[in-house]
Structure 1
């Protein structure tokens, strides 16, 4: 009996986050709302008869012993805890009940991943702690095609959804997460979110180069690096008189002379002419 009380107490402390490393359910994602198919674990402190795993029906209900059906569909974790506690109290089953709910499977919540990813589509959230990089991984990662094809996904992901009932949008630079260690940019995703991976910036090159075509613009890429990516000049090519065709703010294309150290912009067209000698 004494061991049972201690075990129940430790379980409750873990659920509430009193034990290091165990966060309260829904702490990272308080906006998540329960729905049909979700599997949750209910703990009622010092009342194990009411505790256990419950599957949320398609109607949004769960069944609690003695209480009967409880509608938790479309409630947050905290709201569901409060509702179960209220019904236990109103039915005089438990005096001042302390209820904790831990989501185990979230089949009702899905995120959409679209754009240049390996497998665009809708994916179920496996946990409340799923983040942007987890969703991208499920969708097969960002597309990286052959260098001359030009259909490469960019390093920037646009996240759209709702938070606290209001429209939410965030632009996330994956390089900041992986190269700069800014883990706070890898934000949690919630049901209904959409992630969009746009095409990476690209340039076109033609003329006297070994491999004319379309290429991805790497960060801070210069004309010199673009020339190297295109295999260098042909024996007849010249580094003099390099031309860039670039669209201005009005959408009209302008012709510019270029130096080897000039930075490229998205949709630039490079032309390397033939040497006069």
Structure 2
């Protein structure tokens, strides 16, 4: 009886941990800052003309109906929704309900000595190690100590380690070993 109860407790605790983990991962998009290549959906309740799906281009801005230019890059989906809500409320709609949802993250790029170089869809929580795995792993000629990351803003990180966090628009370059 005690073993059954103990097993039941362990099962319940692991189930609760997975629910908490799933909830945290769902909320990650609220901390994520939008970037070029991301696709979002803006929904304004009962206002079909103000609801839209769009992909963020290199300008990082969009012309939004009624309120004009809206900066998207560098803001979280929640911040964008709050800004749209505030600007629509200022003379256009009484108490607008606005949600901004991530539909697709911008790509990341992997080049050099990996088995399948190319572009890949970003997933929250990507590290260098996970990105290399998605690209098929290292080739036999890869220099694992010569991996650089060029950020979307142009910054170059040299000789990064496996735990380096990767973001949409990043280019991972795996160097070639001479031996």
Pairwise same-fold verdict (TM > 0.5)? yes
Paired with 1:50 and 1:72, the residues of 2 have a C-alpha distance of 21
1:33 paired with 2:35, answer yes
User: In 2 relative to 1, CA 98–40 (structure 1 residues): closer, same or farther, beyond 3 Å?
Assistant: same
**Normalization by structure 2: what TM-score?**
0.59
Paired with 1:173 and 1:112, the residues of 2 have a C-alpha distance of 17
Aligned residues: 152
Tell which structure's C-alpha radius of gyration is larger: 1
User: In 2 relative to 1, CA 80–135 (structure 1 residues): closer, same or farther, beyond 3 Å?
Assistant: same
Q: Counterpart of 1:167?
A: 155
Shift of 1:119: 2.8
Q: How does 1:41-190 map to 2 (within 5 A)?
A: 41-42=41-42, 48-50=45-47, 54-56=53-55, 61=62, 67=66, 71-72=70-71, 74=73, 76-78=75-77, 80-95=80-95, 99-106=98-105, 109-121=106-118, 123-144=119-140, 152-156=141-145, 157-161=147-151, 167=155, 169=157, 171-174=159-162, 185-190=163-168
Per-residue CA shift, 1:166-218, capped at 9, x if unaligned?
A: 835253334xxxxxxxxxx1413221x2212123463xxxxxxxxxxxxxxxx
Contact 1:116 1:199 in 2 (8 A): yes
Shift of 1:98: 6.4
Any gaps of 5 or more consecutive residues in structure 1? 1-16, 145-151, 175-184, 203-277
Contact 1:114 1:195 in 2 (8 A): yes
Any gaps of 5 or more consecutive residues in structure 2? 1-19
Structure showing greater relative contact order (alpha-carbon pairs closer than 8 Å, 6 or more residues apart)? 2
1:199 paired with 2:176, answer yes
User: In 2 relative to 1, CA 117–33 (structure 1 residues): closer, same or farther, beyond 3 Å?
Assistant: same
SS at match of 1:87: helix
**Normalization by structure 1: what TM-score?**
0.42
Paired with 2:178 and 2:151, the residues of 1 have a C-alpha distance of 25
